[in-house]
Structures are given as C-alpha cells and as structure tokens.
Structure 1
C-alpha cells in the first residue's frame, strides 16, 4: 500500500503515462516492483523478467518471454508500447520487460524441454482472467454491459468509443482489445454472501430465496465493504454496515439487504461507466456460477433495470482462454469466434414494478455510501 501511495503522490493521473485509466493499488505491477527494489533487489538482477502468472507458464511451455500490453500496463504505455515515466522513475533495466504482443497471437511452440505437453504445439500469449472472461461474454463482439460474479464482481460496459471525463474506473483502450471497455472490480460479493450465511447459520441459497419473500421496498440496507471497497470508491479503510434495521426487521429483510447490497455494488460501477460512454447498452451479460440461478437473474434484472442474459458456462475465463487459443490457431479474430463458444443462454427481464422498487432501495444504498466515505 505504501508503494502505491507514493506513486499516487508522484503521478496522480496515469492516463497519459499508461495510455489508459487505472487507479493506483497495491495489486498493481509497479508498486510490487518498487517494493522488490527496496527489499529484495537481487530478484531484479540481470536475466530476470517481470511476468504475470500466465506469462510464467508460457515461458515454461515455450521458453519465450512474452506478454500483452494490458497485462504489462504500467511497465509500458498501452498505446505506444514504450516504457512509462513511472517505470523509468525506478531506474531499472528495460530488459525486465517482456516482449509485447496481442493476446491472440502465437508466442511460440511448446519446447522439447517443457515438462507438460508434447513439443511443437502453438501457444497463444493469453490475457488476464478478467478480460478473457469478458471475451467469453461477447463483451468485445458488440457494445454491452456485463457482470462477472465470483468472490468479488467485475462489472462495466464495452462501447464503440470512450468519452473523456473524470472517473475512478479502469479503461481498456482499443490498443488492448477489439472494443474499448470501462470497468471495475468490487471487493466482496460472493464472499460477503458466504459471510452472512455463516453468520446467520444459513446458506447462500437460503439467503437468496429469503431475499425475495417480501414484495414492497425494504428499509434495510447493507454495504458489503467487509474488507474495504475497490471500484468505484477505492477505500481500503471503510467497513461494511447494516442500516435501517428496526424491531420489525426479520431474517428475510436481512437476507434481502445482503443480496441486494451486493447487487448494488455492480450497478454503482455500471452507472459510472455509462456516464463515460455515449452508448447505453439495453442488455447486461452475466457470467459466473451464481448466475445459473433464475433467482439471481431476477435480482440482477431488478437492480440493473434491464434484460439480463446468463451464459451457461460458469467459468467464463476458461472459455475466453479457449477462444484466444482458437484465434491463434485459425487467424480468426477472437470477437468473431466468441459467439460460437457461448453455448446456451438464459434471458430474463423483471417487471417494471420490481425494477422501480429496487430503484428506491438503490437510492437509499447510494445515500449510505456517501455517508460512509465522508
């Protein structure tokens, strides 16, 4: 965190330097490298490379040091591919930066020395799990909104062109993907639901069912900031809270607050993303295991005030990786291939009445967000 804070003070706006928008965070490459330079400098000696996990595996399969511009953001400008000012400030050799290519390009073939696969198999450079998941949800095939669920959520929109404007989300520029994307990760979604289920000696499934027992608007609100929050707040110091509880509040009301509170975090991101694009997607594509539940589809549709489409394969990142491999093998663009891998889809649109009720609760949620970050 200290290294991220130092960079934020030195370079508060990274958009020009990085060629994309990205909040400073301890999970970023550069804060980690800065820490290594101060505490473990031998790791950065000659012959080393700065690789993501998928790049490390690529090296062991092919012997090639390669990555993509999105995965190496911060080390290089995502558009010019030249080392960034932030990187140069560390006074480290550029040889640490791997060769940069497209995620769907062949980096090399499996070597005779690899211990995993037969020699001679082409291997694509690959992408981050988040962007591979977006690819599988057809986010790069046409402008759309999306939510990928897990322990935390990733939410945002793709569009034909990014608009200028102040925001606290990440942007994937056209130099990194077939369509630009504005998105952000939450800190706790599935993990918050699991926490609540354990706290109340229940199960996530029971919370989901109980959350829809009462049809009118609820006064109970939950901010799922159990370990702080990432997008769009980026505060590690704030914590979760329940609000609006009374003697009349029942377990079903608490369940509703938890489930809808998690859902509201994704809408908060999508609403901010939509403010930066001239396009307003009419549907939301959903990925992740929880979205196989029709109850979750109903809840997402209520909260997002739109039709939702759930993709049948819950591990969207793995499907995205397969699409990249197919693209590398055939030369067909990944966004063209993506619909061929999507499988069965579930469509759902909640009633306008239920969307309006969720809208009332969402405004209460936003009010409590503002109070919590003061």
Structure 2
C-alpha cells in the first residue's frame, strides 16, 4: 500500500509538471473553470498553473483574480516574487473596494486582506515600487481592516503593532500613552485567542511562556499553544509548531502533567478546526509535517497523545499495612484532583484572560 501511494504521488507530480509546460495554451470553457483551477493550483503551490488561470479569470471576476495574483507575487517562497507588483495590485484593490459593504461576503474579505497587506508594505516601504515608508497611512489602513471589516488577521497584526509601542496614537491628558498601546495589544490577543485564532493563540502562548507583557504562566502557555497547533491551517503550521516545540521541550514534568489534565477542556473552549482535505487525491496518508524532537531526542507530540505506558510496577505497601495488600501503580502516575476541583482556564468571555495584567497596568 505504501509503495502504491508513493507511486501515485509521483504520478500526480508528473501530471502537474506536464500541465506546467502547457499552462500558457490552456483555454477555459467558463470563468468558473478558470477560478477552480486557479485556486486549486494556488493552494497546492503550483503558481505556474495558477497565474494563467487567474489571468483568464480577470475580465469576468477581476477582484478575485487580482487578489490571488497579488498573493502569488507577494510570496517570498515562490518563483514569481515581485513585491512591486504585489503592492500595486493590493493598493488598487484597497482603493477600488474602499466603499464596499462590510457585510458583502464575497468582496469584503478581499478589501480587508488588501488593506492589511497595504498596511504592512507601507510600514516598511516598497523599494521595488519606489514607495517610501508611510506609518500614518499604514496605521489607517490597518485600523480600517481591523475595525470596519472586523478582519481577524488585521486585528492580529494590529495587536502586534500595539505591543511594539507603535500604531495609532493613544493620548491621555494630551500625552501619548505607551502603556495604553500595550493594553490594547493584550486586549486584541485575548479576544482573538478566545475566538480560536491560531496565530494569536500561538503569539500569546509565547508571551505567557516568557512572561513578556503578561504574567508568566507555563501551564497555560502549553495548553494554549497545543490548541493553536490543532487550529492552525497548513500555511501557518511551521512557525506555530516552532513555538510549540520550544514550550513543550522546555516544560518540566509537573507543567506537562497539569496541562495534560486540561487538554480536553481547553480544546473544547478554544478549538477551531481548520479545513480538512477530502483525501480524494490519494495523498492523505503521506504526512507532510516534519518529525520534531527535543534536544534529548524526545518526540514532540500533542498534549492529548500519550506516550507508551511502561509495564506496571508492583509496589509492596509499608509495614503499617497488612502484608497481603499490594498496590499496582503505573510508573510515573500521579494522583490527580477530581475534575470538579480543577479550576477552568480563565479565558472565558466573562473573565480576564489568564496571565493578562489589568488593562490599566503598565507593561513590563
């Protein structure tokens, strides 16, 4: 079976390579056909197939076509990286869709993502397009994406900007208040983490682990990053798993045991499953993720996955107990408090997020 799947994987790759050579000659029967191929090829990373499809789609569905082309040109890992083109496309979309209804399910997300991309480009400038940094415009674009369009990715970027002490000015008694920016950053991370945003959960877990901007809480950090890994889409898994590996490998046995007792609770409260592949291409059993290990060789695993349990040890009871009585205890087992006695993670909407200092406190 394994040989068959590997052969099938090779066949699929060969077909895609053949399709690449013929991409420029493809004629699509309908715009929907072009969009399906474009998005499918884009998701698979086959930009040489995606670009002709989106170019064919542009006359009928220009916003969708230009948005995906901008993403291709803005991908540093691809063969078509051109940040000048990416910025130009994002900027034209942001300008064109500035008055779109935030409830428009088809165009509002494109407007929000384009504004977020424009903001990130403007914050540092775009040398390839001759665009100099413009922090004020970057802040306005990001705020509009985060607040007007309620875009979670924009809110996440806004949180990171605030935690750097940047972003829109927040004044108190006529003076800029840096601590208020930090508090706003914590607010957005807390809100997004409660809603299941994997990037925010991973970022906040790292802060909790290090005790930066929030109270240090290793157990909550391990629980939260475990949820983030489960929530993460394929495009975000690498950096989120990097954080998980760091926290998991450096967590002591006591921290791990406490976190293990709350795995199901945290996942039920803050889990958000990413889209699942249908597996119809026959490649579903070929795991693309790298096998991660700690420095001591220990396998990095999700908190809900138990390691093989060693053979039980037979421990003879002490002298005060009848010699006929023995207790069988698995090695490494500990006595756990009853479930009712365990406190729930303080991430509920009715209480402050665990590890966050009060909103008015000064960040460290």
| TM-score (norm. length: structure 1) | 0.26
| TM-score (norm. length: structure 2) | 0.26
Greater C-alpha radius of gyration? 2
| Structure 1 or 2: more strand by fraction | 1
Greater RCO structure (CA 8 Å; 6+ sep):
1
